[in-house]
């Protein structure tokens, strides 16, 4: 004997509402259809499901037990419909985002927090990687989107890149660093202090190389490498070391009096930070809602950083002089 699940759902509706007419209205069915279901179910079981002559309808002990199973199925069905509605509206689901480490920790993670204050039903999973890693993870479906810097690299046709923030680097140091008290800077001011090495694979490695090239130097004294953003901040605070950081990362710590920006004009990379996705991703309304949030947040961040940049009295130190000499030589 096989009992059809939707028959139990109709039985549960009759028990819950106390009548066939009421149950039919709740389920969006006709009264005659629900009556036929009860009749078929009783014949298949060979036992009555309701006490005869009672109004509202009262289930027999067997009917009550079967009704509980139907109620469970009905609850699961309603839950499933709610999940579908919530998913399609972008109010629930999961978003997987990858990005370059320092930028994710300093800039993107607060944006995730502000997103989830309004969308608590969406799970966000954050991971780290540099550009080649992130492309591979998009290819394999491990992440839904990436926040990554890129230069003049031509993206594949199946990838979409939306610029959100120009790349700009600054020299960072501790808040009380001796260089913050100097009005003019010479090459030896920069090279006489230890440096923090950029993370392996980071675009900042090439940026540091370009700074040294502009100064006509082969190397600087690298004393610390491989740390997380928090450890780099702590290291800068406790030493006279220098580090090259994205302006947006340094800006994120502006109110904590931990590090300072050395107001020195340095060579800037020809890169832009953007949101990278597959052009034909699987349907993920939560992901689309999250990308919209990132657009708004980065638009506000860009205006704030531009204002912060204009407030700094940048010194055209040895970098600018070297650039002018090179331009004159050309």
pLDDT attached to residue 152: 57
User: Which stretches of 46-118 are DSSP H helices?
Assistant: 61-89, 101-103, 109-118
Looking at the fold, whether 238 and 224 belong to one and the same domain comes out as yes
Taking 3-state DSSP, the helix, strand and coil percentages for the chain, each rounded to the nearest 5, stand at 50, 20, 30
pLDDT above 80 for 279? yes
Please state whether 201 falls in left (phi above 0), alpha (psi between -120 and 50) or beta.
Answer: left
Q: Is there a contact between 269 and 203 (Cβ–Cβ < 8 Å)?
A: yes
pLDDT above 50 for 19? yes
Looking at the fold, whether 157 and 304 belong to one and the same domain comes out as yes
Q: How confident is the model at residue 81 (pLDDT cuts 50, 70, 90)?
A: confident
Region of poorest pLDDT, from 12-16, 17-21, 123-127, 183-187: 183-187
Tell me: the pLDDT tens digits for 224-278? 999 999 999 999 999 999 999 999 999 999 877 789 999 888 888 888 999 999 9
Looking at the fold, whether 287 and 162 belong to one and the same domain comes out as yes
CATH at 58: 1.10.10.10
Looking at the fold, whether 157 and 211 belong to one and the same domain comes out as no
Q: How confident is the model at residue 21 (pLDDT cuts 50, 70, 90)?
A: very high
pLDDT attached to residue 329: 36
User: Which stretches of 199-260 are DSSP H helices?
Assistant: 203-215, 229-238, 247-252
pLDDT attached to residue 323: 40
* Enclosing H/E stretch for 134: helix 131-140
Q: How many CB atoms lie under 10 A from the CB of residue 85? A: 11
Q: Is there a contact between 170 and 261 (Cβ–Cβ < 8 Å)?
A: yes
The DSSP code for 34 is H
Question: What per-residue string of b and e applies to 31-62 under the rule 16 or more CB within 10 Å gives b?
Answer: eeebbebbeebbeeeeeebbeeeeeebebbee
Which residues neighbour 195 within 8 Å (Cβ) at sequence distance 6 or greater?
Answer: 208, 220, 221, 222, 223, 241, 242, 243
Tell me: the pLDDT tens digits for 22-58? 999 999 999 999 999 999 999 999 999 999 888 899 9
User: Where among 89, 114, 140 does a domain terminate?
Assistant: 89
CATH at 101: 3.40.190.10
pLDDT attached to residue 40: 94
Tell me: the pLDDT tens digits for 290-330? 999 999 999 999 999 999 999 988 877 555 444 443 333 33
User: Where among 45, 68, 89 does a domain terminate?
Assistant: 89
Q: How many CB atoms lie under 10 A from the CB of residue 9? A: 22
Looking at the fold, whether 226 and 323 belong to one and the same domain comes out as yes
Looking at the fold, whether 158 and 201 belong to one and the same domain comes out as no
Looking at the fold, whether 321 and 239 belong to one and the same domain comes out as yes
Domain range enclosing 55 = 5-89
Choice between 282 and 18, residue whose per-residue pLDDT is larger: 18
Distance from C-alpha of 200 to C-alpha of 44, rounded to nearest angstrom: 71
The DSSP code for 200 is T
What three-state secondary structure class fits 145? Answer: strand
Looking at the fold, whether 203 and 143 belong to one and the same domain comes out as no
Looking at the fold, whether 145 and 211 belong to one and the same domain comes out as no
Looking at the fold, whether 22 and 50 belong to one and the same domain comes out as yes
Q: Give the number of domains in the chain.
A: 3
Looking at the fold, whether 237 and 305 belong to one and the same domain comes out as no
User: Where among 89, 110, 128 does a domain terminate?
Assistant: 89
Looking at the fold, whether 233 and 323 belong to one and the same domain comes out as yes
């Amino acid at each position: 004997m096989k009992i059809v699940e939707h028959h139990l759902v109709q039985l549960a509706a009759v028990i819950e509402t106390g009548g066939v007419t009421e149950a039919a209205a709740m389920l969006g069915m006709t009264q005659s259809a629900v009556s036929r279901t009860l009749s078929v179910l009783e014949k298949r079981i060979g036992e009555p499901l309701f006490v005869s002559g009672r109004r509202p309808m009262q289930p027999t002990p067997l009917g009550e037990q079967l009704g509980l199973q139907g109620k469970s199925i009905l609850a699961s069905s309603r839950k499933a419909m709610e999940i579908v509605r919530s998913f399609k509206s972008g109010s629930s689901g999961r978003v997987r985002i990858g990005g370059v480490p320092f930028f994710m920790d300093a800039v993107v993670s607060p944006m995730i927090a502000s997103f989830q204050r309004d969308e608590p039903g969406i799970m966000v999973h954050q991971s780290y990687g540099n550009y080649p890693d992130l492309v591979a993870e998009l290819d394999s479906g491990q992440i839904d989107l990436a926040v990554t810097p890129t230069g003049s690299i031509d993206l594949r046709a199946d990838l979409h890149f939306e610029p959100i923030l120009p790349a700009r680097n600054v020299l960072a140091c501790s808040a009380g660093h001796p260089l913050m008290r100097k009005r003019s800077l010479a090459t030896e001011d920069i090279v006489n202090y230890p440096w923090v090495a950029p993370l392996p694979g980071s675009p900042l490695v090439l940026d540091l190389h370009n700074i040294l090239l502009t100064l006509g130097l082969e190397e600087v004294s690298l004393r610390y490498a491989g740390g997380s953003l928090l450890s780099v901040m702590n290291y800068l605070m406790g030493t006279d070391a220098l580090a090259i950081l994205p302006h947006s990362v340094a800006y994120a710590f502006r109110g904590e009096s931990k590090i300072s920006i050395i107001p020195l004009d340095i060579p800037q990379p020809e890169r832009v930070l953007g949101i990278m996705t597959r052009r034909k991703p699987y349907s993920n309304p939560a992901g689309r809602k999250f990308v919209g949030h990132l657009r708004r947040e980065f638009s506000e961040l860009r205006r704030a950083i531009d204002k912060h940049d204009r407030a700094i009295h940048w010194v055209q130190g040895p970098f600018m002089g070297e650039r002018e000499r090179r331009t004159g030589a050309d």
